[in-house]
Amino acid sequence: MNERFQEGLHLKIIEDNGHPKGFIEYIPSEYNWRGICGTNYMVIHCLWIVGKGKGKGYGSSLLNACLNHAKTLNKSGVAMVTSSETWLSDKSFFIKYGFKSVDIAPPCFELIVNSFDNHSIPHFNHGWEQRAEKYSQGITIIRADQCPYFEEAVNLILEVASEREIPSKVIHIENCKDAQNAPSAYGVFNILLNGELLTYHPINKRELNKLLDNYESKRLNG
């Protein structure tokens, strides 16, 4: 974590009566841990509000703090990866604060930006399928240590792989360049099966077995 702070990572926590209600994490685009290429932007890794804290303006306060901080640092804007499915924020909240969609990536990602000037905007580091194809044997977990939920998810996936006698391995993402060149735009968590992206977020055993069953059914049916 100290290395990330040296690269310009910022973590802002909002509290109410001493109780954390949410946080925002962001970093200069040159050091982002998503599948993004870009310069002189801030990239939001995560904006998270606890369940009971939603609807009270905490997200707005954190996002505005990030936008204002980026401006004081003479950044050209702020970017974020969103998802239309799960795990990551969807774009609807951010559109109200001047963000717009500038790029898309499979299976459900959008890159949104709030630009302050005419500097070139960030874009996704496309080539996901080609990068995924390198991991063609069994289940490959490509993960960073960015989220506390990852460890339990990895252990569960390895357990299911063992039960189903599927070869499996774990590859640790050690730096931002590896994350920027991951097989998914999320960057820091990628589950691949025989060279194809299976999921980009932690799932439970039932969900994983369903994905594996569907994959096997499609393979058998051509």
Q: Of 124, 145, 161, which one is at a domain's C-terminal end?
A: 124
Average pLDDT (141-167) is 94
- pLDDT over threshold 90, residue 222: no
Q: Of 108, 124, 140, which one is at a domain's C-terminal end?
A: 124
Decide which of 185 and 148 is more confident: 185
Q: What is the CATH number of the domain that holds 94?
A: 3.40.630.30
According to the model, what pLDDT value does residue 128 have?
A: 96
According to the model, what pLDDT value does residue 1 have?
A: 66
Whether residues 186 and 160 fall in one domain: yes
Whether residues 148 and 184 fall in one domain: yes
Using DSSP bridges, classify how beta strands 168-172 and 139-143 pair: parallel, antiparallel or unpaired: parallel
pTM: 0.92
Using DSSP bridges, classify how beta strands 10-16 and 139-143 pair: parallel, antiparallel or unpaired: unpaired
Around Cβ 158, how many Cβ atoms within 10 Å?
16
Whether residues 113 and 14 fall in one domain: yes
Using DSSP bridges, classify how beta strands 42-49 and 77-83 pair: parallel, antiparallel or unpaired: parallel
Whether residues 181 and 101 fall in one domain: no
Whether residues 135 and 211 fall in one domain: yes
According to the model, what pLDDT value does residue 102 have?
A: 98
Whether residues 28 and 108 fall in one domain: yes
Show the domain range for 174.
Answer: 128-220
Cβ-Cβ contacts under 8 Å for 109 (sequence gap 6 or more)? 81, 82, 83, 88, 124, 184, 185, 186
According to the model, what pLDDT value does residue 147 have?
A: 83
Distance, in Å, from the CA atom of 106 to the CA atom of 185, rounded to the nearest integer, reads 8
Distance, in Å, from the CA atom of 29 to the CA atom of 36, rounded to the nearest integer, reads 8
Q: Of 124, 149, 172, which one is at a domain's C-terminal end?
A: 124
Distance, in Å, from the CA atom of 1 to the CA atom of 90, rounded to the nearest integer, reads 27
Around Cβ 129, how many Cβ atoms within 10 Å?
12
Instruction: Give residue 19's pLDDT band: very low, low, confident or very high (50, 70, 90).
Output: confident
Average pLDDT (75-83) is 98
How many separate domains does the chain show? 2
Whether residues 84 and 100 fall in one domain: yes
Using DSSP bridges, classify how beta strands 109-115 and 77-83 pair: parallel, antiparallel or unpaired: antiparallel
According to the model, what pLDDT value does residue 66 have?
A: 98
Q: Where are the beta strands (DSSP E) in the chain?
A: 10-16, 19-28, 36-37, 42-49, 77-83, 100-105, 109-115, 123-124, 139-143, 168-172, 189-193, 196-199
For the stretch 178-218, pLDDT in tens is 999 999 999 999 999 999 999 999 999 999 999 999 988 88
Whether residues 112 and 23 fall in one domain: yes
Helix (H, G, I), strand (E, B) or coil at 79: strand
The structure tokens listed for 42 are: 């801030």
Cβ-contact 77, 36 below 8 angstroms: no
Cβ-contact 57, 65 below 8 angstroms: no
Q: What is the CATH number of the domain that holds 141?
A: 3.40.30.10
Whether residues 71 and 177 fall in one domain: no
